[in-house]
Amino acid sequence: MKVLTKKNIMILIAIVITYVVVQVLISTGIIDSFYEITIATICINIILAVSLNLVTGFTGQFSLGHAGFMSIGAYVCAIINLQMNSTTGLLIGIVSGAISAAVVGIIIGIPTLRLKGDYLAIATLGMAEIIRVIFLNMEITNGAAGLNGIPRFTNWLWLFFFTTASILLINNFINSSQGRACISIREDEIAAEAMGINTTRYKVMAFAVGAFFAGVAGALYSSYFYFIKPNIFGFQKSVDILVIVVLGGMGSVTGSVIAAILLAVLTTFLQSYSEVRMIVYALLLVVIMLFRPQGLMGTKEISDMFKFGKKSSKVK
Amino acid sequence: MSLLSVEKLTKSFGGLTAVSNVNMYVEKGELVGLIGPNGAGKTTLFNLLTGVYVPTTGSIKLDLNGSVKELGGLKPYNVTKAGLARTFQNIRLFKDLTVMDNIRIAMHQNIDYKLPAAFLRFNKFYKEEERMLEEADKLLDIFHLSNKKGELAKNLPYGEQRHLEIIRALATKPSILLLDEPAAGMNPNETKNLTDTIAQIRKEFDLTVMLIEHDMSLVMKICERIYVLDYGMMIASGIPSEVRANKRVIEAYLGEDVSDASNKKS
């Protein structure tokens, strides 16, 4: 009906160009294997940040347990991939990892999403720790030593495909009626209920969708870095993701993407100054938060900038 | 049976009985007022009707063309689904969203596409979104807010915010509209405007309206029937002229006559 609008064609062209340019740079060796890792980190972080943004930025539910869902995706995918050493195995692994994470998200979300603010943050933090400890003690996950030698089928094509798909799908969700229901919870829960929105249902829905995509990111992580252990998915990882979301702007998909790229580039760049690396990183965060407390993008999206001047609010 | 009938409704918070043994009914098409001094329990009663509070005892029944539904104990979103929509005493718009989004959120319960369509943009998605925009445009037209649909709700002037709350409630397609102090903080001009609007929406949407209001001139002018609450109890009801002359109502508002009080003592 309206699939081939001017805007969608532009987006498609931009996607293809990004893919081709990076692919050419990799093939010609301009982007070496070191920078390729940075690119993989960017892609995985984008998926993580955008999915957490859906929960924290759009639905307003402060979660500190995103790494927990990531680890579920990573382990499920790794275990399946170790059994089925093929790209089909990877695909099955990613899908099952994501679905497992979403199911756990629903199970955990139903009791914890009754809580608000700080209490929810602590509950989700605890839940991520529980998941980590379970992986630490299970036989199939090989405990603290972790899983090694996971077949590495993930390359730029896989990363790019799943990152773009995640962004587009989450963006579609946010701009649907269900997505607006989630946003209304952030704005005013009592008013949302009075307008006929089952707030518990949509909180759990956002949580499950967020967990699903965190699972995708985890699955890609395990496949690309071919080694996972429980400690990778600790509290620190959850905070890293949250930093990206807050820095980019709570409630802006574009912001999360930009912040994920910016922070990864910054980390890579600072690697040559290892002594001052963390100081500069932390200082930059403080400065940005002081001058842009709403994050780089606030709640704006890149599409808002293009339609500046148009008055009507159209279906995105 | 009446459209809405409330029987022996009581709500206590610990030792305090905020609403006590209240009976009332609202007929289809009526405009009913609910008045009472500050702290009489009017908003509590509204909160009971809309599911914010669960009644301690008593029942609230909604009769839509013969199918009777008990509303007491339902969650607010189910009450809204059943056909009761409300506005809030202290405006509760989705402040950081546009006027259009405020309305579209209220339309959510009537959309006809599921999660997969939202993610993958099936044709149904576009059809429904289009329909929503058209309906929202119609509503905005009625209230002359069409030129403001892209503005953030918080940037609207006060009177328009009040109007937007009413539009938002109407967007849920209610049978009964509950207005909690719609004229609070309005100047006489805005109040006049509001009066016209209420009359207009009743006609256009075939709506039953119940309102809480402190502006007596407004209440006496537009309400067909009035209920009076005091200390959680229904002390009077009837047409405006009856209520105005009711001794207990006057006492509730102005206090007991001193000579009367001293007579009673002696």
Instruction: State which residues of chain B have pLDDT below 50.
Output: 265-266
- Chain centroid to CA A248: how far? 13
Give contacts of B77 with chain A, Cβ < 8 Å.
Answer: 193-199
Count of pairs with CB atoms under 8 A, one residue in A, one in B: 117
Q: How far is A175 from chain B (nearest CA, A)?
A: 8
Compare all CA atoms of chain B with the CA of A195 and give the residue at the minimum distance: B106
Q: What are the angstrom distances between the C-alpha of B90 and each of A181, B43, B174?
A: 21, 11, 21
Residue A193 to residue B168, Cβ atoms within 8 A: no
Residue B52 to residue A190, Cβ atoms within 8 A: yes
- Where are the extended beta strands (E) located within B94-247? 176-180, 208-212, 225-230, 233-238
- Name the residue type at position B7: E
- Partner B contacted by A129 (CB < 8 A): no
C-alpha span between A185 and A179 (Å, rounded): 10
Compare all CA atoms of chain A with the CA of B128 and give the residue at the minimum distance: A177
Q: How far is B177 from chain A (nearest CA, A)?
A: 12
C-alpha span between A50 and B157 (Å, rounded): 35
Give contacts of A191 with chain B, Cβ < 8 Å.
Answer: 88, 92-94
Q: Which two tokens stand for residue B107?
A: 């339309």
- What's the pLDDT score for residue B261? 53
Residue A195 to residue B172, Cβ atoms within 8 A: yes
Residue A187 to residue B97, Cβ atoms within 8 A: yes
3-state secondary structure of A286: helix
- Partner A contacted by B103 (CB < 8 A): no
Compare all CA atoms of chain A with the CA of B78 and give the residue at the minimum distance: A196
DSSP for A107-161 reads: HHHHHHTTS-HHHHHHHHHHHHHHHHHHHHH-TTTTGGG-EE-------HHHHHH
Q: How far is A5 from chain B (nearest CA, A)?
A: 13
Q: Considering its fold, how many domains does chain B have in total?
A: 1
Domain that holds residue B173: 4-265
- Tens digit of each residue's pLDDT (9 = 90 or more) over B200-248: 889 888 899 999 998 888 899 899 999 999 999 999 999 999 998 888 8
Q: What are the angstrom distances between the C-alpha of B104 and each of A36, A242, A290, B58, B133?
A: 44, 30, 35, 34, 8
- What's the pLDDT score for residue A192? 96
Q: How far is A105 from chain B (nearest CA, A)?
A: 17
Summarize the confidence of residues A167-186 as an average pLDDT: 96
- What's the pLDDT score for residue A311? 40
What is the pTM (predicted TM-score) of this model? 0.91
- High-pLDDT (> 90) share of chain A, %: 70
Q: What are the angstrom distances between the C-alpha of A285 and each of A63, A240, A275, A289, B40?
A: 20, 12, 18, 6, 52
Phi and psi at A18, nearest 5°, equal -55, -45
- Where are the extended beta strands (E) located within B104-207? 176-180
Residue A195 to residue B80, Cβ atoms within 8 A: yes
Name the region of A37 (left: φ>0; alpha: ψ -120 to 50; beta: rest).
Answer: alpha
Compare all CA atoms of chain B with the CA of A198 and give the residue at the minimum distance: B77
- Name the residue type at position B109: Q
Give contacts of B104 with chain A, Cβ < 8 Å.
Answer: 177, 180
Give contacts of A205 with chain B, Cβ < 8 Å.
Answer: 115
Q: Which residues, numbered 168 to 197 in chain A, qualify as contacts with chain B under a Cβ-Cβ cut-off of 8 Å? A: 169, 172-173, 176-181, 183-184, 187-188, 190-197
Smallest Cβ–Cβ distance between B108 and the set A2, A177, A313 belongs to A177
Query: Where residue A314 falls among pLDDT bands split at 50, 70, 90?
Result: very low
- Name the residue type at position A75: Y
Give contacts of B111 with chain A, Cβ < 8 Å.
Answer: 177
- High-pLDDT (> 70) share of chain A, %: 96
- Tens digit of each residue's pLDDT (9 = 90 or more) over A90-135: 999 999 999 999 999 999 999 999 888 889 999 999 999 999 999 9
Element (H, E) at B175: none
- What's the pLDDT score for residue B264? 52
- Chain centroid to CA A237: how far? 12
CATH code of the domain containing B21: 3.40.50.300
Give contacts of A213 with chain B, Cβ < 8 Å.
Answer: none
- What's the pLDDT score for residue A312? 40
- Tens digit of each residue's pLDDT (9 = 90 or more) over A241-300: 999 999 999 999 999 999 999 999 988 888 888 788 788 888 888 998 899 989 888 888
Residue B75 to residue A312, Cβ atoms within 8 A: no
- What's the pLDDT score for residue A308? 46
